[in-house]
Amino acid sequence: MVAVVVVSVIILLSPALANFVIQHKDNPAITILQPASQQPKTMPHEELVQHALDLINKDRTDLGLLPVELSSNQAAQAHAEDIFRTKQISHWNTKGEKPYITYTQYGGKGSMQQNIAIAGFSAEEYKQCLTNILVDCEKIEPLPTIEELQYEMMYNDEECCDGGHRNNILDPRHTHVSIGIMYDDYYLVFVQNFENNYGLNVDVENSEIEISGTLLDGELDYIGIYYDEMPTREIYEQNKQLMYYSTGELVAIVVKPLPPGYYYKSLQSYNLIEANRWTVQGNSVNVMFDLADAVDKDGAYTLFTVVKDGEEMFDVTSYSVFVNSEENN
């Protein structure tokens, strides 16, 4: 029996400054039968990716949304290959990195949110299929399997995952998606990394951070800094069974400096950092601040730049910076 499984996506909310909240929800995976295929075909990877992109954009345009462009970021493909090797569906890779950390490692400058789905046998059954201990193993045909996984994420997602995959696919703020696909006769991994690319770049020199560019939409509101432990194999082992991921611990928020004589209200749960530079001229943005003001231990510090468009707030960067005091000594 070949199963199809999808894993819940992070739900990143961007409400008011003092109420930045992440939804944490452990949703069980769903399992359905894979349609029979007597003669599976090997397809060029580029053709599979294009087919997956077409399915995503059909679902979006059918509901009046703009299509997303294909991103060249390779984090989704690397994640698909990682899951294929382990046969363990997880938002953490085997290095212990969350998706947005890997996205940064592969050069991502925007923000991203991830969907994962698999079709195939359990790890033990997979081995038995390969060694012919199981002689009647149903083989995967990639195109219809990708179609089914996309359908499951769009239309059978509420019970399993509180609509997380569907909401991610249909997020009107997404501009790009990178797609990871890895498969053989008995197992297929399908990863979607949706991106918000709104024209901002993140530059790091020592502890000095500069976020600049021409913002394509919205107005800069603030920058949230979130902490994760340094990624390790142990972190992966601790979290690989989880069906969700969060953005770690909020440790600081970077805000626009106030005029002389005005002060922000002191907050106890996280640091409030007034930027050294906060220049906004039309759509042109240039912000500089010292990350050291948010750092009190080694790990990964991720910069979520939040913009406001009317009453709506959304993030346009999820850039991770590693802090390792041992390497600096």
Rounding to the nearest 10 degrees, give the CA dihedral for residues 206, 197, 98, 172.
Answer: 150
* CA-based nearest residue to 27, from 91, 86, 79: 91
Which one has a higher pLDDT value, 17 or 7? 7
Query: Is it the case that residue 300 has pLDDT exceeding 70?
Result: yes
Query: Is it the case that residue 30 has pLDDT exceeding 80?
Result: no
Query: Is it the case that residue 1 has pLDDT exceeding 50?
Result: no
Q: DSSP secondary-structure letter at 19? A: G
Determine the pLDDT at residue 171.
97
Please give the backbone phi and psi of residue 169, each rounded to the nearest 5 degrees, phi first.
-60, -40
pLDDT digits (tens, 9 = 90+) for 202-252: 999 999 999 999 999 999 999 999 999 999 999 999 999 988 899 999 999
C-alpha 278 chain-centroid distance: 28
Determine the pLDDT at residue 5.
54
- Give Cβ neighbours of residue 109 (< 8 Å, ≥ 6 apart): 197, 200, 201, 202, 317, 319
Determine the pLDDT at residue 315.
96
Averaged pLDDT, 44-70:
96
Averaged pLDDT, 12-33:
31
Averaged pLDDT, 81-108:
96
Q: How confident is the model at residue 42 (pLDDT cuts 50, 70, 90)?
A: low
What average pLDDT does the chain have?
86
Averaged pLDDT, 74-90:
95
Determine the pLDDT at residue 243.
84
In 3-18, which positions are buried (b, 16+ CB within 10 angstroms) versus exposed (e)? bbbbbbbbbbebeebe
Structure tokens at 274: 């007034």
pLDDT digits (tens, 9 = 90+) for 275-288: 999 999 999 999 99
Determine the pLDDT at residue 162.
85
Determine the pLDDT at residue 31.
34
* CA-based nearest residue to 206, from 31, 328, 299, 35: 328
Determine the pLDDT at residue 317.
97
Query: Is it the case that residue 122 has pLDDT exceeding 90?
Result: no
Cβ neighbours around 172 below 10 Å, total: 11
Q: How far is CA 147 from CA 54, 141, 142, 144, in A?
A: 10, 11, 9, 5
- Give Cβ neighbours of residue 208 (< 8 Å, ≥ 6 apart): 288, 289, 290, 291
Query: Is it the case that residue 65 has pLDDT exceeding 90?
Result: yes
pLDDT digits (tens, 9 = 90+) for 165-215: 999 999 999 999 999 999 999 999 999 999 999 999 999 999 999 999 999
Rounded to 5°, angle at Cα 154 from 5 and 195: 95
Determine the pLDDT at residue 33.
34
Determine the pLDDT at residue 71.
97
Determine the pLDDT at residue 22.
30
- Give Cβ neighbours of residue 131 (< 8 Å, ≥ 6 apart): none
